[in-house]
Structure 1
Amino acid sequence: MSTKIRNDGRSQLRGHGSLALILAWISLLSPMHAADPGGKPVAHDASTYTNSVVPFLRQHCIACHGEGEANASLRLDQLQPDFSVPESAARWAEVMDQINLGQMPPPEEPPPELEQLGEVADWIAAGVRSEERRRVGSGGRSLLRRMNRTEYANTIRDLLSIRFLPGESPQDLLPPDGTVDGFDKVSTGLMVDPSLLENYFELATRLAEQAVVDGPPEFPTQTIRFELEDTAANRAIDYLCANPGIECREHDILLMDHSTRSFGEMKYGDTKKEIPVAGFYRIRVRVWGTRGADGKPVRMQVRQQHPQQDRQLLIESDVTDEPQVYELLTARDPKCGEYSVSIVNGSAFQQSSPVGAKLFQAQREAAERDDFEAALRLQSRQQLEALTRAKPTPESADTSQFPKLYVDWIECEGPLYEQWPPKSHQALLFRGEGAVLNAEYVDAIFERLMRRAFRRPVSPEEVESITEGVKAEIADGEPFNQAVRNGLATVLCSPKFLYLIESEASSLPNSERDSLQAISDWGLATRLSYFLWSSMPDDELFDLARAGRLRDSGELVRQVDRMLADPKVDGLVEGFGRQWLKTDAILAFAPSERVYRDYTPKLGEAMVAEPLAFFKEVLQRDESAIAFIDSDWTMLNQPLAELYGIAGVEGDHFRRVQLSSESPRGGLLGMAGVAMAGSDGIRTKPVSRGAYVRNVLFNDPPNPPPPNVGEVEPNIRGEKLTVRERLIQHQQLASCAACHRRIDCYGLALENFNVIGQWRTVQDGEGFRGSNSPTIDASGVLPNGEAFETWAEFKQLLLKQEERFAQGLAEKMFTYATGRSVEVSDRSRIDALVSHMADHHYTLRSLIHAIVSSDPFLQK
């Protein structure tokens, strides 16, 4: 793929930029197979159709939707049970919607039995799902697929040793990937269109410019320190010393309220800039504190001004009684403004006006009972009488009772560089700055690069397809480094890089499908690394592939164990764990700050992290995956432990915590994030929670709801019905009851957890307050007829379904590992995976071992 010079010194593909790129893709992809994903339609449960569906239609439907009486132009007497015909599938879906809405049969007709309604709706839903799976299926083959954006970012990280700043990673710059069966790894969901090719082209150019540099950095590393005793002498910020909550002293500054900030700039030549360029900076602050009357440690925050709220808080920590330096390495950019140090628990200083404090409390209570008129009236009085909390009267306060934060200095060092030239530059131009810049060096550069980028040996012709253009640019006067950048961008746009191409090794002589081929060791190394690391193979996998030893079963198991112990296993945690456990849904609705005051954005981050930390602990300690149903431990940091009422956990890092026998925690469903994902910020949503349990724990999602059917409605004014009571009203229609009885029981069992996952025994939220609120009823009956009265009994019943859980987990991980949906022909393979797990205490590691040793993983 050759290039030509543009007037600005950069290059583009011959032709017309991305158009030429598209044509090149077509030519390069033409020899690669793109198998028909469909396969033959599979007959759908003929016995249920004959014994249940047909009699139901005859008894309740044909009279109005038969010959000569086709209401709504819907003929059911001629409707065939073939979901592979679009018109037929659409008609069946319409029948299911009308049944679920309770509009068919009409009210004047004899009502069908609940069991009969459910059986017909289930048969139709299963037919629709079966046809959808057939359409996106692959006939049992793992098809050619491109990297998703997470894999692309990780691969660039490992290929070029580039460290990305927030907002500049390929994950941030590429559009979201399509998902199939809940994962962004399935080939049929990872299509490529011209707009995506344009994204790849622009991103490759940017990455190449970052990877290869010219000369020293524009902004060398510098350090600025501001001594806080200089605050009073600095006219730009001396107003801080006049604040009654701040005292400027001889060697430091004392905070009882508000915050203090730094003042300084880095000098580059004749210019001064606080943050000259986007990069990594080290922030340090020397502080200590004295506790207030409550005896709690003094808590300090270091913040920066930034348009993105999630990038404003830099450091938050309890401080010691002795001076200590607290520091953080963080990304900063020119959009960052000043940064400041504040005391977090010094708000008591602002309550020194007794009248103002009482008015403020009255205002808050009025807002809690939704009396907004009274709240506004009280707020206005505070403002008129200068009694707001922002105008304290410190002369009436005993300041010895307040916590105090002492700040000595604030320091910023940066921009920081791991090394210069960066690792990417040194890896590509591996002969160093004194190398002879000739054609032979160009060939060597790109042979090394392309072998790793394409994840296999490359032919001289493939190397020449890149180096021909690079050499031509150099001959035309392009600087050597720029020509290499152009060649690198071309490699990063190649489908041989962007697609996970798994070359075939040899035919399988007695294969059950002639089309199945064993993949080469190079292809196996690629499939293994993108399964467990979401990134390219490392040198050890490449060496084993080169030696032809990776396929050996003993070696394959050893490599799995090695890879699971590597830090890059976070690719599996963030890839499979995040999508399986649906942690992206946890922060979909922000809880009402007025109702749930214990919630903070930092707590929300911990809620997302807990399930992933739990997954990683189960994986790396080789523990039973049944712990996701129930366990006597969990992973906590301080914010979550405080929410759960568990003492002795300090700091933001997660660690394993043993739970008491009385704790309702333990297992996935006891985590606050799961509770919040099944809420809307005001009230709990048992239907959503029930669907989550069925989908995540059992891979058994409920049937799709009828059109325009939302969640249970909130209470109207004057009404005080619990969510359970409103659900019972919703189930008065037999059609609704048929579906909800298989969902609601799972969600109502979680009703002891409120919107933010706190344990409750009485209702809260939606206007419920105090001990007079209704008691939580978490009882129910599972679809198999087993009843439970409490949350603890519910978890015991789930533990009895460990094989069902293992089957759902095996199906999910099989899809993630192979990049294709589970098909009917995979039934025996899934059963074998479950059996292997059962023989090895249901560990995730045993499931992974079984998958990578199975034919679907070793073949294409």
Structure 2
Amino acid sequence: MIGRSPAPLRIHHLTRFLCLAVGILFSLSALTAWGQSPADSSIGPTVDHTKTSKFLKTYCAECHGPDTQESDLRLDQLQPDFSHATTASTWIEVMDKINLGEMPPEGSTMPSSDEAASVADWIASELRLAERTKLSAQGRVILRRMNRAEYANTVRDLLKLNFLPGESPESLLPPDGTAEGFDKVSVALMLDPSLLDKYFEVAQRIADSAIVEGPPPFPTEKMRLEMEDIAENRAIHYLCATPGIECLEKAIVLMQGSTRSYGVMKYPGLRQEIPIEGMYRIRVRAWGEPGEDGQPVVMRVRQDHPSADQQLLLETEVTETPQVYEIVVPRDPKCGEYNVSIVNETGFQLSSRVGNDIRRLQQKAGEAKDFEQVMRLQSRQQMENLTWGKPNPDAADRTKLRKLVVDWLECEGPLYEQWPPKSHETLFFRGEAAEENEPYLHDIFARFLPQAFRRPVTPDEIDHVVALCQGELDAGESFHDAVRTGLVAVLCSPKFLYLSEPSAAVDKRPLDDWELASRLSYFLWSSMPDEQLFDLARAGKLRDPQTLAEQVDRMLADEKVTGLTNGFGAQWLKTGEFRNFMPDARLYRAYDEKLGEAMVRQTLAFFDQILRSDESALAFIDSDWTMLNERLARFYEIEGIKGEAFRRVSLPPGSPRGGLLGMAGVAMRGSDGNRTKPVNRGVYVRDVLFNDPPNPPPPNAGEVEPNIQGERLTVRERLVQHQQIASCAACHRTIDSYGFALENFNVIGQWRDQQDGEDFRGRNAPPIDASGTLPNGKAFEGFVQFKSLLMEQDERFARGLAEKMLVYALGRPVEPGDRGLIDELANQMQQQNYTLSSLIRGIVLSDAFQTK
């Protein structure tokens, strides 16, 4: 975990100065000194614009030609030079006027809608090409720094350091820039002085946590609350008088409500239970008594915490025989108490709003430990209708109710894997008894720097860091503080932050084994190479094709491949956008934060399963299985799934949940919290599945408006009206059908056959129309037929996926020169069951991946 400890101010200022100075110089000189300036690149010949030139002369020259230049705009001599800012802005104006139907003006000779759309599409494609040209480097991968996820993963693996929620460098560093949909592209990952300053702060925290002094600040302690202690505590005697809770001699029975640690479980010598942030073991001894409905008893363990995503700790079925349920979770002093409750899914509630007289009698009975009297009063309260609301007739017979019986609660922590931690041992490899002198400093960084810089280092590089540390020792600082200073300097050095592949040559060159090891590991793991890759690089064997293919297979089987899931998978599938809009709580009551989390996790788990099991990537279009946990399965009305963990589940016949487009998260992304947005969903399908995003809409294109008072038009009907605008039809005809096909999924992804949300409720709501015609002319009647038509476009899908992953792997845009490679990768996928592993191997073994 990362923590804070005081360090000498002088050290911090010195190291900060050195980091900023070196970083700024490096950033200013890196692109030019290393011969990698993107400004020198070009992509090749521009597409022939004869057709567009003829269009402009026919329909535009009358107002914008040699004789007349309305608005000082002349188009008959407009050149297809989209790299020139002024010329490009003129083309953008032409495209926007065509899309808006403002050019040619009314009364002029008018082009057909197909002619206008063709010219607008050509301009848009040329603008995209020019943008990629601007970002390109003639097929070469230019120098880039690690993004924040890679930085966090590298620190984790370099120092064997685990992070608590909210304490990872990924959480502490500012968001990275993106290009081409990914935060891996070089031109979006520059390094400026303000970011270097943030890197320094994060490096300080890492160094303070990685290097420790003396014994743990708080030893591990175990605190237990036996339920019989509740009756002994006068501050909480009310619990036994609460409807829905029974106090037995040595246990407490929950029919509703919860029991908690009550501040009784305090760390020795402190006023709170949690003395410091860290990992804690929570244990509960409990069992269940099923009620009349025969349903299992579900126990939930929660903690007080300001962050909603850290509140739920455990939710599980309990057996009828006593068992100890255990979880190890991060906790901190902000957590306060934790509580154990029974999950009541039937909606049954015992009223807690009792009459004052009965409440006083119950209080006295609780203080006297007269539990029989407490229960008698509770029954009287329900039978005599002394609550503010009408009592539930089932409340008098509690044999019908499910019960959770809790014996004791226990919290143990803070937990330490070892002390000193592995991070400390990684640096001080000779142990605490070693002589603390300059030769030891030299040996420490002679071992550490090659790992941190991911290559062999020079004696000067080692001496530079050692001299910095020795300066601290000479100034009277401790040996540990001196090494901290060296560690901070290393962690904010450009040689650590950048994935360095230096080259001053004009021509491409092969990567050396060290560079190839890093490019491979940051592609598949989003982290530094491990020792096996370093060993192969050291021996000069990694470039051997068979060895490289074997390493790809090994790395894909490693747990660190979650870096590819959380990096490429999350950004390709846009899971970070699933919860951009919060569903209207009044209209969509089935939604809660836990469900929203499960929606995101399902999509990532689906990608991870396809990757690890070498499944066909066509499963993203359609499949007879999906990934579910209990919360999401309940939402999808699929039975038999228990627990928080996601697992592969075969779908029942007729289920619409197969593939990416059947996932609730995708549906919610294509909504605004109140209504579905078919255009947004259609853009998602084209972009994600086929890497074919539509042209950007013209300015002031607007959106499909909500129903005005008195109207009851569906979103589809309003969108069809929108399409009647001539300037809108050309774009929408290539987008809307993809979105209409998903209309059976409402705002939160529930399947519906009738409209819901907005003003639509009840039996009279209009039926869903999910039919449409794809741009290729093939029609479908609903979601099932739609997916079958998408499956026919498997080659298009493979090409789009190959383009996306190539951008991610190389950290640069796809260029015209990559066309042959992309064709080869797509063909290879088709021949090998469209697996992600075949695509990955093809990329890694390509010249593009192995050259600089």
**TM-score, normalized by the shorter chain, greater than 0.5:** yes
Segment of structure 1 superposing worse, 37-46 or 203-212: 37-46
Deviations 1:808-843, CA, capped at 9 Å, x for gaps: 000000011011110011111111111221221221
The CA deviation at 1:74 is 2.8
1:249 Cα deviation after fit: 1.8
Identify the residue that residue 681 of structure 2 maps to in structure 1. Answer: 689
Secondary structure of the 1:231 match is helix
Question: Helix, strand or coil: the match of 2:259?
Answer: strand
> C-alpha distance in 2, partners of 1:42/1:387?
81
What are the residue-to-residue correspondences of 1:55-454 with 2, within 5 Å?
55-67=54-66, 69-109=68-108, 111-264=110-263, 270-345=269-344, 348-350=347-349, 397-454=396-453
Measure how far apart 1:25 and its partner are: 3.7
Note if contact 1:348-1:402 (Cα within 8 Å) is conserved in structure 2.
no
| Amino acid corresponding to residue 848 of structure 2 in structure 1 | P
The within-5 A match list for 1:614-633 is 614-633=606-625
Deviating more after overlay: 279-288 vs 265-274: 265-274
Cα separation, partners in 2 of 1:140 and 1:388, compared to 1, 3 Å = farther
Q: Distance in 2 between matches of 1:19 and 1:353?
A: 62
Q: Are the aligned partners of 2:281 and 2:329 in contact in 1 as well (CA < 8 Å)?
A: yes
> Does the Cα contact within 8 Å between 2:164 and 2:330 map onto a contact in 1?
yes
Aligned-pair identity (%): 60
Cα-Cα RMSD:
2.4
Aligned-partner SS, 1:330: strand
Give me the whole-angstrom Cα distance separating, in 2, the residues matched to 1:338 and 1:582: 36
SS in 2 for 1:446: helix
Structure 1 window deviating more from structure 2 (234-243 vs 206-215): it is 234-243
Preserved contact between residue 266 and residue 275 of structure 1 (Cα < 8 Å): no
> Structure 1 residue 547: deviation in Å?
0.3
Q: Is the 8 A contact 1:502 1:526 kept in 2?
A: no
Q: Which amino acid aligns with 1:543?
A: D
| Kept in 2: contact 1:101–1:735 (CA 8 A) | yes
Task: Determine the structure 1 residue equivalent to 2:542.
Answer: 550
Q: Which residue of 1 aligns with 2:661?
A: 669
Q: CA deviation at 1:700?
A: 0.5
Instruction: Give the aligned partner of residue 39 of structure 1.
Output: 41
- Structure 1 distance, partners of 2:417, 2:576, is 32
Q: Evaluate the alpha carbon distance shift between residue 15 and residue 165 of structure 1 in structure 2; reply closer, same or farther with a 3 A threshold.
A: closer
Q: What is the one-letter code of the residue matched to 1:310?
A: D
Match of 1:340, SS state, is strand
Q: Where does 1:570-589 land on structure 2 (aligned, <5 Å)?
A: 570-589=562-581
2-structure distance, mates of 1:233, 1:214? 42
Q: Does 1:20 align with 2:12?
A: no
Q: Distance in 1 between matches of 2:530 and 2:462?
A: 21
Partner residue, 1:739: 731
1:760 partnered with 2:745: no
The 10-residue stretch of structure 1 (471-480 or 73-82) with the greater mean CA deviation from structure 2: 73-82
Question: Partner amino acid for 1:45?
Answer: V
**Residue of 813, 816, 841 corresponding to 2:833:** 841
More displaced, 589-598 or 567-576?
Answer: 589-598
Report if aligned partners of 1:223, 1:414 keep a CA contact under 8 Å in 2.
yes
2:672 aligned with 1:680 = yes
Q: CA deviation at 1:767?
A: 2.2
How far is the alpha carbon of 1:42 from its aligned partner? 4.1
Q: Aligned AA for 1:745? A: S
- 1:212-271 residue CA offsets vs partner (Å, 9 max, x unmatched): 111001111111111122212212222222212222221111222222211346767754
Q: Deviations over 1:48-82 (max 9, x none)?
A: x312x233323433333334543333332332221
1:687–1:711 Cα contact (<8 Å) kept: no
CA positional deviation for 1:692: 0.4
CA distance in 1 between partners of 2:561 and 2:215 (Å): 35
CA positional deviation for 1:151: 0.2
How far, CA to CA, are the matches of 1:395 and 1:837 in structure 2? Answer: 61
Q: Deviations over 1:691-732 (max 9, x none)?
A: 000000100001001224343111122211111111110011
- In the other structure, the counterpart of 1:471 is 470
Rounded to whole Å, the distance in 2 between the matches of 1:225 and 1:580 is: 47
TM-superposed deviation, 1:502: 2.5
Give deviations 1:111-161, integer Å, cap 9, x for gaps.
432211210110111111111111111111011110000000000000001
Q: Which residue of 2 aligns with 1:818?
A: 810
Aligned residue in 2 for 1:640: 632
> 1:346: Cα distance to partner?
7.0
Aligned in 2, Cα 1:699/1:265: closer, same or farther, shift over 3 Å? same
Among 780, 783, 808, the residue aligned to 1:791: 783
Distance 1:230 1:180 in 2: 60
Residue 503 of structure 1 deviates from its aligned partner by 5.0
Between 746-755 and 586-595, report the one with greater CA deviation. 586-595
- Tell me the distance in 1 between the aligned counterparts of 2:520 and 2:583: 40
8 Å CA contact 1:13–1:21 kept in 2: the answer is no
Q: Which amino acid in 2 is paired with 1:427?
A: T
What TM-score, normalized to structure 2? 0.92
Residues 1:24 and 1:111: Cα distance change in structure 2 (over 3 Å) = closer
SS for the counterpart of 1:183 is: coil
The one-letter code of the counterpart of 2:575 is T
Q: Which is further off, 450-459 or 297-306?
A: 297-306
Q: Give the Cα separation in 2 of the matches to 1:800 and 1:395.
A: 57
Q: State which drifts further: 823-832 or 636-645.
A: 636-645
In structure 1, list runs of 5 or more residues that go unmatched: 355-384, 508-513
TM-score by length of 1: 0.91
* Cα pair 2:34 2:502 within 8 Å, conserved: no
Aligned-residue offset at 1:521: 0.1
Query: In 2, distance between residues paired with 1:110 and 1:737?
Result: 20
Task: Specify every segment of 5 or more residues in structure 2 that has no aligned partner in the other structure, as ranges.
Answer: 1-5, 354-384
Question: Which amino acid is 1:70 matched to?
Answer: Q
CA–CA distance in 1 between the matches of 2:486 and 2:796? 52
Query: Which deviations, in whole Å up to 9, do the C-alpha atoms of 1:466-488 show, x marking residues without a partner?
Result: 00121222133211011001001
Return the letter of the residue paired with 1:35: S
Tell me if the contact between 2:151 and 2:169 (Cα under 8 Å) persists in the aligned partners.
yes
1:770 to 762, 773, 782: 762
Which residue is equivalent to 1:700? 692
- Residue among 553, 559, 583 paired with 1:591: 583
CA distance in 2, matches of 1:393, 1:609: 39
Counterparts of 1:425 and 1:809 in 2: how far apart (Å)? 43
- Seen in structure 2, the aligned counterparts of structure 1 residues 717 and 340 have a Cα distance that, compared at 3 Å, is same
**C-alpha deviations, 1:484-515, integer Å up to 9, x for none?**
010011011111110001256x98xxxxxx51
Describe the superposition over 1:763-820 as per-residue Cα deviations: whole angstroms up to 9, x where unpaired. Answer: 1211222332212111111111111122121111111111111000000000110111
- Counterpart of 1:39, as a letter, is S
Alignment CA distance shift 1:717-1:290 (3 Å): farther
**For the Cα contact (< 8 Å) 1:590–1:681, is it kept in 2?**
yes
Distance in 1, Cα, partners of 2:466 & 2:595: 52
The 8 Å contact of residues 9 and 478 in structure 1, kept in 2 or not, is answered as: no
Compared CA separation, residues 837 and 7, structure 1 to 2 (3 A): closer
Aligned residues: 816
**What one-letter code is carried by the residue in structure 2 that aligns with 1:564?**
L
Shift of 1:636: 1.5
Higher mean C-alpha deviation, range 8-17 or range 576-585: 8-17
Is 550-559 or 10-19 further displaced after alignment? 10-19
Distance 1:393 1:657, change over 3 A: closer
Task: Return closer, same or farther for 1:260/1:782 CA change in 2, 3 Å cut-off.
Answer: same
2:364 maps to which residue? none
Q: Tell me, what secondary structure is at the counterpart of 2:640?
A: coil
Aligned-partner SS, 1:273: coil
Question: Residue type of the partner of 1:34?
Answer: Q
| Offset of residue 591 of structure 1 | 1.7
- 2:679–2:736 Cα contact (<8 Å) kept: yes
Matched, 1:50 2:71: no
Amino acid at match of 2:120: A
Q: Within 1, Cα distance between the matches of 2:386 and 2:134?
A: 69
Q: State how far apart, in whole Å, the 2-side matches of 1:15 and 1:312 are.
A: 37
Distance in structure 2 (CA, Å) of the matches to 1:436 and 1:137: 53
Shift of 1:26: 5.5
